[in-house]
Amino acid sequence: RHFAPQDEGVCVSLLNEAGAKLRDSAAFDRGDPQPLNAIGDVLVALAEQEAAAGAAPAASARLEAALNEGFRVALHLSRADTDAMVGCAEVLALQGKAASRAGDTEGARSLYSEAARAYGWALQQPTKLGTYSERCDIRYNCGCALAAAGQEEEAGRVFAALLRSRGEELRQDLLNDADLAGFRSNGWFKQLLQVDGDSAGQL
């Protein structure tokens, strides 16, 4: 959905209000990581609103706050909290994308590598990651992070396993995902999808 300017303002206002209530909840029960994870989610949503509005510095600050006020604090309370692990991974991947857009190739790879590690930690506890479809989504995001980090062999293994279980649905994701566009001419990607050079040029 595309928000009108007044709708965007209302959305940001509601998110800020939600964040304030969650901070109160986190302060009341300091042993529960879930309000902290929710704070992280709200801050990510605010970052996405600000990025869409062209406010890159503000979006960057929100993402950093999502880590340092939300997900990382939740992990400090519970090292096995998979919601916090996935939250960290998603923020790090967003930071990697922002760094890449800014031309910081090495910084982006480092952030994507951190994201892949965080996804990997969460995937060690698959029964805590929701439904089968949700677990596949997390594995897919891990594969994207690995590819962006330059760990293409590992990414290929992740995607190959998903292809075996998700088949054509996953194949279409790989063919159409803009985040993977830069890898489609690479040998490992062609081999993954069993396409030759001629058909790869039509992707």
Q: What is the pLDDT of residues 73-113, one digit of tens each?
A: 999 999 999 999 999 999 999 999 999 999 999 999 999 99
Residue 76: CB atoms within 10 A of its CB come to 12
Higher pLDDT, 170 or 29: 170
pLDDT at 29 over 80: no
pLDDT at 16 over 70: no
Indicate the burial class of 156 (C-beta count within 10 angstroms; 0-12, 13-18, 19 or more): buried
Structure confidence by residue, pLDDT tens digits, 133-171? 999 999 999 999 999 999 999 999 999 999 999 888 999
pLDDT at 65 over 50: yes
